[in-house]
Structure 1
Amino acid sequence: MGCFHSVSNKSKVGPCRTNIFSDVQATIDQSPTVIEEYSPIVLRYRTPYFRANAQVIMPPIRRKETWTVGWIQACDYMKFINQYGTLGCSSWEIPALKSGRIPAVSDSDGVSYPWYGNTTEIATIVGPTDSYRRMNLTMNDNFYPSVTWDIPVSEGTNAHLTRIVRDQSFITWLAAVNETTKDIIVLKTVRWNFYLEIDIDPTRELGQRARIVAPRAQKQPLVTNGPGQIPISALVRPSANNAQTLIWRPTENQPIVVVPAK
């Protein structure tokens, strides 16, 4: 990736934060998380969607340059623990984020850095242009993971899973990027969190084991105006999916890396 950097608002020609109009709506669906207990090997759950919609009006671009406007997302906190009674727990972790070495990790699709996606999430304008351009940009995000009933270092199908706790925070920026200079203009910032607790009774029959204990509904996102800076780690590889590691922490022995980062 090139070197991205924020841009000042001194320029009177072409796009700057003060002459790009943007309006953002962001919500988390009020539908509950759905638990799926169909498999004897894994429990799955499907969470409500985070959704963001932006209306953007770009001013004329006087120079021969290309601008991309769209969504950039990063995870800045992650706690994802699966408890297996007194045997231990597994945890999905991003080591650089957990240690504080980086403030956030890119949540790109793993291809379209720094963008969250490359379809409805972005729009590109090639200058010069002599008129205002209107764009509608949308994105959505949810989780649909699988958690093994048995401890992750076992090849068995015995149910030992007793609790799932997931707590993640995200920052989602609506940004305009000059593709030539790599200048970034932050238009809006959305902060949102997803929290979930599931209790499991592994002695019960499949289909009757798990229940959601918190929360009944997710907190709604907070939208704020720019300006702002995006950490470099939120713009470049690796993505959160590729950076995370699954670690098994048995009660009486040393931790074991079950799934290393890609």
Structure 2
Amino acid sequence: MTLIHPTAIIDPKAQLDSSVQVGAYSIIGANVQIGANTRIGAHVVIEGHTTIGEDNHIFQFASLGAQPQDKKYRDEPTQLIIGNRNTIREFTTFNTGTVTGIGQTRLGDDNWIMAYCHLAHDCVVGNHTIFANNASLAGHVEIGDYVVLGGYTLVFQFCRIGAYAMTAFATGVHKDVPPYFMASGYRAEPAGLNSEGMRRNGFTAEQIANVKNAYKDIYLRDLSLDEAKNLINQHAENHSELQILRDFLTDSKRGIIR
């Protein structure tokens, strides 16, 4: 079986494991490294300083490792790093980082990235996420583990979306979305708790109830955000699920959706 289609163009300096499959008319640049059992479809372009792990499936017409869409970029050797067991569908575009950011764009493990999604420069995406079609991240965005982005979700630069959060269809995220919470709307507003996602990922009824109570402290009770955070800090001492929320709120720079 021929793993590299004869029409594919692979730079001699590229480092591909012997088990990598490359489809017709794909182009792979000199500074690309690809791990074992990764499958690359037809008409894929992988360029820049790009490292891709093992067991990924990259579908046709994806563009990975192109220069960032940042006018300050001056051909610095920044990176795109992709982990293991990711599904990356048609027409996705992932750019490398910038020296004014962290110098890398990173996608973790076991992510499901649907068609036409975009990861801009310096984005950091965790593990086990799902990006529905056309979800797009501006530069410097951070996405936690097990996040689900609805189709056509747009995330403004420097925003963060916490672990186990979820956005609805066509959500415009302009501030941070805390862990476990749902967001919806052209200018994202809180839309309840992602309780089903929590259940599917092994959270107990008690843990879900604790997070729901924290959601009420922030959004439904007559409390200031500082008062709600103080209550969450107290309860987090004995509940690990609330520690994730506490740390996210503490580290938020843009503020959270309100």
Question: Which range, TM-score by smaller chain?
Answer: under 0.3
In terms of fraction of residues, the more helix-rich structure is 2
In terms of fraction of residues, the more strand-rich structure is 1
Larger RCO (CA within 8 A; separation ≥ 6): 1
TM-score by length of 2: 0.19
Larger of the two Rg values belongs to structure: 1
TM-score by length of 1: 0.19
